[in-house]
Chains A and B, each alone.
Chain A
Amino acid sequence: MQNKYTDWKQALRSGLLGGVIVVVLSLIGIVAAFINTYVIHDVISLGELLILGPVMALSLTAIRKATNKQPGFLLLTAAISGLASGLVILALAGLGQVINLRAMFLNASPDLYAIYAYQQAPIPGLLLRLLVCVIVSLLTAGFTLLPARIKTALGQGLLYIVVIGLMGRLITMMLSNWGFVAILFQWMFAANSLSLIGAIVLFLLTAGLAYWRYGRPKVKRITDPKKQKVVRWGTLAGLGVILIFLPNILGLWFSEILDNVGLFILMGLGLNIVVGFAGLLDLGYVAFYAIGAYTIGVLTSPELGFFNWTFWQAFPVALLMAFISGLLLGLPILKMRGDYLAIVTLGFGEIIRILVLSDWLKPWLGGTQGIQRIQRPVIGIEGVWTRTLTSQQDLYYLILAGIIVVAFVAIRLRDSRLGRTWMALREDEDVAVAMGINHVATKLTAFAMGALFSGIGGTLFAAKIGSIYPSSFQFLVSINILSLIIVGGMGSIPGVFVGALALIGLPELLREFAEYRYLFYGAALVAMMLTKPEGLWPEARHRLELHEEATPPPEAEAEPATENA
Chain B
Amino acid sequence: MALLEVNNIHTYYGNIHALKGVSLKVEEGEIVCLIGGNGAGKTTTLRTISGALRPREGNIVFMGEDLAKYKPHQIVQKGIAMVPEGRRIFARMTVMENLEMGAYIRKDKQKVAEDLEWVFELLPRLKERRRQVGGTLSGGEQQMLATARALMARPRLLLMDEPSMGLAPVLVEAIFDTIVKINKEGTTILLVEQNALMALSVANRGYVLETGNIVMEDTGEALKKNPRVQKAYLGME
Contacts of B167 in A (CB 8 A): 557-558, 561
Confirm or deny: B202 has a beta carbon within 8 angstroms of a beta carbon on chain A.
no
Contact A556 B73 (CB under 8 A): no
Confirm or deny: A438 has a beta carbon within 8 angstroms of a beta carbon on chain B.
yes
Number of chain B residues close to chain A: CB under 8 A: 48
Given known A558-B138, A561-B167, A561-B195, contact A436–B91 (CB-CB < 8 A): no
Interchain nearest-CB distance for A227 vs B (Å): 26
Contact A420 B101 (CB under 8 A): yes
Contact A541 B105 (CB under 8 A): no
Confirm or deny: A508 has a beta carbon within 8 angstroms of a beta carbon on chain B.
no
Contact B73 A564 (CB under 8 A): no
Interchain nearest-CB distance for B13 vs A (Å): 15
Contact B92 A545 (CB under 8 A): yes
Interface string of B39-54 (1 = CB under 8 A from A): 0000000000010100
Contacts of A553 in B (CB 8 A): 136-138
Confirm or deny: A434 has a beta carbon within 8 angstroms of a beta carbon on chain B.
yes
Contacts of A562 in B (CB 8 A): 169
Given known A434-B76, A436-B76, contact A559–B168 (CB-CB < 8 A): yes
Interface string of B72-116 (1 = CB under 8 A from A): 111011000110100010111110010011101100000000000
Given known A433-B52, A553-B136, A557-B140, contact A564–B197 (CB-CB < 8 A): yes
Pick the most buried of B72, B91, B165, B197: most chain A CB atoms within 10 A of its CB.
B72
Contact B92 A560 (CB under 8 A): no
**Contact residues of A between 513 and 558, Cβ < 8 Å to B:** 541-542, 544-545, 548-549, 552-558
Residue of B nearest to A432 (CB): B101
In Å, the complex CA distance between A434 and B52 comes to: 8
Contact B104 A423 (CB under 8 A): no
Contact B166 A561 (CB under 8 A): yes
**Contact residues of A between 404 and 437, Cβ < 8 Å to B:** 420-421, 423-424, 426-428, 430-437
In Å, the complex CA distance between A554 and B82 comes to: 27
Residue of B nearest to A441 (CB): B73
Contacts of A561 in B (CB 8 A): 164-169, 172, 195
Contact B136 A549 (CB under 8 A): yes
In Å, the complex CA distance between A324 and B198 comes to: 54
Residue of A nearest to B129 (CB): A553
Confirm or deny: B135 has a beta carbon within 8 angstroms of a beta carbon on chain A.
yes
Confirm or deny: B24 has a beta carbon within 8 angstroms of a beta carbon on chain A.
no
Confirm or deny: A565 has a beta carbon within 8 angstroms of a beta carbon on chain B.
yes
Number of chain A residues close to chain B: CB under 8 A: 37
Interface string of A76-95 (1 = CB under 8 A from B): 00000000000000000000
Contacts of A437 in B (CB 8 A): 73, 101, 104
Confirm or deny: A439 has a beta carbon within 8 angstroms of a beta carbon on chain B.
yes
Confirm or deny: B234 has a beta carbon within 8 angstroms of a beta carbon on chain A.
yes
Confirm or deny: B139 has a beta carbon within 8 angstroms of a beta carbon on chain A.
yes
Interchain Cβ contacts within 8 Å, total number:
119
In Å, the complex CA distance between A562 and B194 comes to: 11
Confirm or deny: A382 has a beta carbon within 8 angstroms of a beta carbon on chain B.
no
Contact B94 A421 (CB under 8 A): no
**Contact residues of A between 432 and 469, Cβ < 8 Å to B:** 432-439
Contacts of A433 in B (CB 8 A): 52, 72-73
Residue of B nearest to A438 (CB): B73
Residue of B nearest to A425 (CB): B90
Contact B149 A435 (CB under 8 A): yes
Confirm or deny: B68 has a beta carbon within 8 angstroms of a beta carbon on chain A.
no
Interchain nearest-CB distance for A259 vs B (Å): 34
In Å, the complex CA distance between A559 and B166 comes to: 6
Contact A541 B92 (CB under 8 A): yes
Pick the most buried of B90, B94, B166: most chain A CB atoms within 10 A of its CB.
B90
The 8 Å CB contact of B136, one of A432, A548, A564, is: A548
In Å, the complex CA distance between A562 and B197 comes to: 12
Confirm or deny: B63 has a beta carbon within 8 angstroms of a beta carbon on chain A.
no
Confirm or deny: A563 has a beta carbon within 8 angstroms of a beta carbon on chain B.
yes
Contact A436 B77 (CB under 8 A): yes
Confirm or deny: B14 has a beta carbon within 8 angstroms of a beta carbon on chain A.
no
In Å, the complex CA distance between A558 and B136 comes to: 13
**Contact residues of B between 204 and 237, Cβ < 8 Å to A:** 234-236
Confirm or deny: B148 has a beta carbon within 8 angstroms of a beta carbon on chain A.
no
The 8 Å CB contact of A545, one of B102, B133, B165, is: B133
Confirm or deny: B191 has a beta carbon within 8 angstroms of a beta carbon on chain A.
no
Confirm or deny: B171 has a beta carbon within 8 angstroms of a beta carbon on chain A.
yes
In Å, the complex CA distance between A34 and B84 comes to: 61
Contacts of A421 in B (CB 8 A): 101, 104
In Å, the complex CA distance between A138 and B1 comes to: 91
Contact B135 A545 (CB under 8 A): yes
Residue of B nearest to A542 (CB): B92
In Å, the complex CA distance between A544 and B139 comes to: 18
Given known A541-B93, A541-B133, A565-B235, contact A435–B153 (CB-CB < 8 A): yes
* CB-defined A-B contacts under 8 Å, sample of 21: A423-B90, A423-B92, A423-B93, A427-B92, A428-B90, A430-B52, A431-B90, A434-B52, A434-B81, A435-B76, A435-B101, A435-B102, A436-B73, A436-B76, A436-B105, A436-B153, A553-B136, A557-B168, A561-B164, A562-B169, A563-B235
Interface pairs A-B: 3 shortest CB-CB: A436-B76, A565-B235, A436-B105
